[in-house]
Structure 1
C-alpha cells in the first residue's frame, strides 16, 4: 500500500517524525519552522501520513493497524535517523527503536499513549482513564462517530471547544475515529510485545521523553514506566502544555528537541 510523505528542510541529517491520531504529517510544520537554525544547518524532517490520515489511503480494517503503521515507518527509516513520535506515533517510534536499533540515532517520545506500560506498573491509573472515557466507548458502541470524535477531542485535543472547531475538521476526525479502536490492541494490551523481557534492552541510543503538565495523568505514568525500562531516558515536562504540545507549543517543543539533538 502506497503512503504519502513530506519533507521539511533538505539537509544531510535525517529525522523521521510520526504524527498523532487524527492529525497528519503537516502537524510537524510549526515545530519544523521553530527549528529554523537546525534546518538551515543541515537537518531534514521526514514525515508520513498514517493510514486513513492526510493523503495516505484508508485502512481497510484488515490485519493489525500498528503493524501497518510500523511497516511504513521501517520503509522511511532507510538509514540511521533521529526518530520523533507524538502520542500514538510515539508508540510506533518506540517499536521502531526496538526492532531496528541500528537505524535509530536518537529517540524522542512526546506524550506517548503507552497505556499497556501503565497497566503493568500502575493499573489504578488505567482504571481512572477508563472511567474518564466511558462516553467515548458508549458513542463507539452506538455507532455515533461524531459523538465519539467529540468525546475523544475533549480528552486529547488542543483545548478548543468542539463547537468552535471548523465543521470540516470535525468531520475529518469523525471519519477516522475508528483508528482509535483499531490501535487498542497495541496501545492498551501490548499486542506488539514491547513489554516482553529484554525487548527494550536493545535501545542504547539517547532517549528524550516529553509530556505536558496539563496533560492526562496517564501520560506521566507512561513516561515513568518507559523510563524504568530505558535507563538512559531523560524526561522533560512542558509547563502549561497539554497533549497536543507539538501543535500548541511548537517553539518550546522545538527548543527541547534542538538541545537534545545537538547533544547526540
Structure 2
C-alpha cells in the first residue's frame, strides 16, 4: 500500500503551485498534485457548465484510484478552494485520511450561522458577498475579465490584476468560468461540508497575518470545531503566501510533516 500526500491547489493557480514543496512532504508519502476540473492539463471548463467542490473531490478520488493510490494512508495539503475540496474529499477517504494541512480554506458559507460573532470587517465582507447578485449569481458577468479583476484584487490588493504580466492574465482568462464556479461553491452549501471530521485526525490550520478578516474567521471557526488543531500565523503574509512567501510556508509545512510523522510512529509502536 502506498502512502500519498494530496496537494490541492487554489483558485486561479495550477497544480504547479505545490511543486516546490514536494520534497518537504515526501517523508509522509508520494506527493500527488492533481489539477482541479477545468485546469491544465485538462481543457478549460465550457461556459454554462456547472461544477461543484464535490465534483472536484470525486474527480480526485478517481485520480487516486487510477494512479494506484486507492489504498494506504492519505495526507491532504491544501490552499484556499483546495481546502474546501480536501474537506469534501475527507469523508470519501474514511480511515485512510491521516492528516490535514489547510492554508486558509475558504468555507465562507459556514460563517453565516455564526455571523453575529464575527468582527465588523469579516461580517461586512460576508454580507457583501451574500447580497451581491452580480458576483455570485450573474452567469453573464461571472468569470468575465471584470469579474476576474475583482476576485484577484480582493485576495491581493487593488490594481493587482492590472499589474499582472499579460501572459499570466491570458492563462487566468481561460479559467474564468471555473473560478466563478469555485467562488459560488465557497459561498454556497458546499462550504458547509467538512465540519464533521473525526477529532483524532491531526490538523494544522495556517493563515497570514495580513489576510482578509473573513479568511481569519474561517480559521477561528475550524479551530473551535476542532480544538486539537494546531493554529499557526505567518506574520507579514497574506492569503497567497504559499505562492509569494515560500520559505515561511515551507517551514510550517515541514513542522506539520514532522508532527504527523511523530504521531504515526507512536501509533505504530502502540499497535
> In which range does the TM-score fall when normalised by the shorter chain?
0.7 to 0.9
Are 1:178 and 2:153 matched, yes or no? no
Shift of residue 185 of structure 1? 4.8
Are 1:99 and 2:95 matched, yes or no? no
Shift of residue 224 of structure 1? 0.9
Partner of 2:160: 161
Partner of 2:186: 187
TM-score by length of 2: 0.79
Partner of 2:266: none
Partner of 2:9: 19
Shift of residue 51 of structure 1? 1.4
Partner of 2:267: none
C-alpha distance in structure 2 between counterparts of 1:28 and 1:160, whole Å? 26
Pair 146,130 (structure 1): closer, same or farther in 2 beyond 3 Å:
farther
Shift of residue 161 of structure 1? 2.9
Shift of residue 83 of structure 1? 0.5
Partner of 2:135: 137
C-alpha distance in structure 1 between counterparts of 2:60 and 2:49, whole Å? 18
Shift of residue 13 of structure 1? 4.6
**Number of equivalent positions:** 246
Quick check: 2:5–2:31 contact (8 Å CA) kept in 1?
yes
Where 2:6 maps in the other structure, the secondary structure is strand
TM-score by length of 1: 0.81
Structure 2 unpaired stretches of 5+: 65-69, 261-271
C-alpha distance in structure 1 between counterparts of 2:161 and 2:12, whole Å? 14
Partner of 1:121: 114
RMSD: 2.9
C-alpha distance in structure 2 between counterparts of 1:149 and 1:224, whole Å? 28
Pair 177,15 (structure 1): closer, same or farther in 2 beyond 3 Å:
same
C-alpha distance in structure 2 between counterparts of 1:193 and 1:142, whole Å? 25
Partner of 1:80: 73
